[in-house]
Amino acid sequence: MSSTDDHRDDTDLDPTEVASPRTGRGLMGGDLDRRVETSRVPPLAQARVLAPFRRDGDEEATRAFVAHRPLHIEIGFGRPHYLLDLAAAHPDAHVLGFEIKRRWVAAAADRSERLGLANVRVIEGDARPHLERLVPPGSAAGVHVLFPDPWWKKKHHKKRVFNSEFTALMARTVAPDGALYVKTDVEAYADLIVEELSAAGLSLAGSGTSDALLAALPRSHREKKCAEFNVPIHLFRFVHPSPLG
């Protein structure tokens, strides 16, 4: 991921920087698909790290891991507060996390092992090509995308993850009775996310903490920072429309 002034990878929140078009903090974007197979950096040798396409046997191990039901997937977990709390809250589920930044992948693997969370696996890299190649349609009871990068500058809007390809991938990955959970602190991006997911055929089933399922979710690192600095956030739960309408 490039380190432009429009994208920073740290999830610490400075109250003077919240939702400012100059800061562009958040997640997602960029064309990272090719890194999956071309990275020359050896994969992390930690028990809970899967490195499909990069280490022999890991493609099969990933397919076996995602075949379990229920399955939860977090995209861009950063500091792994949410990932680990989700796994602890759902010991019956498999929880697969994707993150580009190696240090958070290593931290998630290390902490999940120390906490005895045997139901966690993490993959270093862009979630999108992995989901396309390894996760069958209708697999996930929950897909979780928390605080995606708004890419403030107009010339960078094409890097936003919530484009039509990604929303189609979300609609494909979420199980018929599953949900996509999205949180953001950027109002304009929240509107766009709702628009894009509706266009992809997902329905907004709940928003805000009045929705019991959203209220019951863990808090991500950035979300905790938002709470600390009284930054309003937007929470959404999207589902497939009911066949009965």
Ligand X SMILES: C[S@@+](CC[C@H](N)C(=O)[O-])C[C@H]1O[C@@H](n2cnc3c(N)ncnc32)[C@H](O)[C@@H]1O
The pattern of x and - marking residues 225 through 244 that bind ligand X according to CB under 6 A reads --------------------
Closest of 89, 82, 78, 81 to residue 119, by C-alpha: 89
Of 22-30, 41-49, 169-177, 197-205, which segment contacts ligand X by CB under 6 A? 22-30
Alpha-carbon distance 181 to 192, whole Å?
A: 15
Check binding of 44 to ligand X (CB under 6 A): no
Report the distance separating Cα 98 and Cα 222, nearest Å. Answer: 16
Between the CA of residue 151 and those of 44, 75, 181, what are the distances in Å?
29, 17, 20
Of the listed pieces 44-52, 73-81, 199-207, 233-241, which binds ligand X according to CB under 6 A?
73-81
Tell me if 135 contacts ligand X by CB under 6 A.
no
* Nearest-approach distance from CB 123 to ligand X, in angstroms: 8
Phi first, then psi: give them for residue 52, nearest 5 degrees: -60, 145
**How far apart (Å, rounded) are the C-alpha atoms in residues 11 and 190?**
18
Instruction: Tell me: does residue 184 bind ligand X (CB under 6 A).
Output: no
Question: Binding string to ligand X for residues 143 to 162, with x set by CB under 6 A, is what?
Answer: ---xx-------------x-
Q: Which of 6, 58, 126, 149 is catalytic?
A: 149
149 is catalytic: yes
8 A C-beta contact, residue 222 and residue 11: yes
Report whether 10 contacts 1 (CB < 8 A).
no
Partners of residue 121 on adjacent β-strands: 96
Spell out, one character per residue from 95 to 134, where the chain touches ligand X: x when CB under 6 A holds, - when not.
---xxxx--x---------------------xxx------
Residues that bind ligand X (CB under 6 A): 9, 11, 26-28, 75-79, 98-101, 104, 126-128, 146-147, 161, 220-223
Residues labelled catalytic = 149
